[in-house]
């Protein structure tokens, strides 16, 4: 396996869903941060505040409403395993249901990353509404 995936599906599906979610959280966070930076407006502090809202369990749970209907059977199974897994911690700012749902979503992203399905990740994450992303992020325009 290289640094960007290519693990066999059977092996990846045996990984603890909390571990998959750990990786998926990084995948999601990187995608959101990149989208914010590429938007070309704002500064690091603005981006950090926006990313925190979007990547939070509450933000992910809301975004998941758009994603769930398009998950494959295989992805839905990974999602269920992540959602139902016993979590070692609790969210301070989200309900238990939101936290469980976000963990399931992150597990799907971690799984897809491990098996090298970057195109599928891009397809799912492209469902983030750019105008919504901008609205959360940027009230001030950065002027160098």
Q: Which residues are catalytic?
A: 25
Helix, strand or coil, per DSSP, at residue 2: strand
Chain-centroid distance of CA 4 in Å reads: 16
Tokens at 114, concatenated: 């491990």
Q: Comparing C-alpha atoms, which of 120, 139, 131 is closest to residue 5?
A: 120
Q: What is the DSSP letter of 69?
A: G
Q: What are the beta bridge partners of residue 41?
A: none
């Amino acid at each position: 396996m290289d640094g960007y995936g290519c693990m066999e599906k059977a092996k990846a599906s045996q990984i603890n869903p909390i571990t998959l979610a750990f990786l998926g959280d990084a995948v999601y966070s990187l995608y959101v941060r990149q989208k914010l930076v590429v938007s070309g407006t704002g500064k690091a502090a603005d981006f950090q505040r926006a990313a925190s809202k979007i990547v939070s369990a509450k933000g992910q749970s809301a975004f998941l409403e758009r994603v769930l209907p398009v998950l494959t059977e295989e992805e839905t199974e990974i999602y269920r395993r992540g959602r139902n897994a016993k979590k070692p911690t609790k969210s301070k700012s989200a309900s238990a249901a939101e936290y469980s749902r976000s963990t399931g979503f992150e597990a799907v992203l971690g799984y897809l990353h491990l098996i090298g399905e970057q195109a599928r990740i891009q397809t799912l994450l492209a469902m983030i509404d750019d105008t919504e992303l901008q609205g959360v992020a940027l009230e001030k325009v950065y002027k160098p």
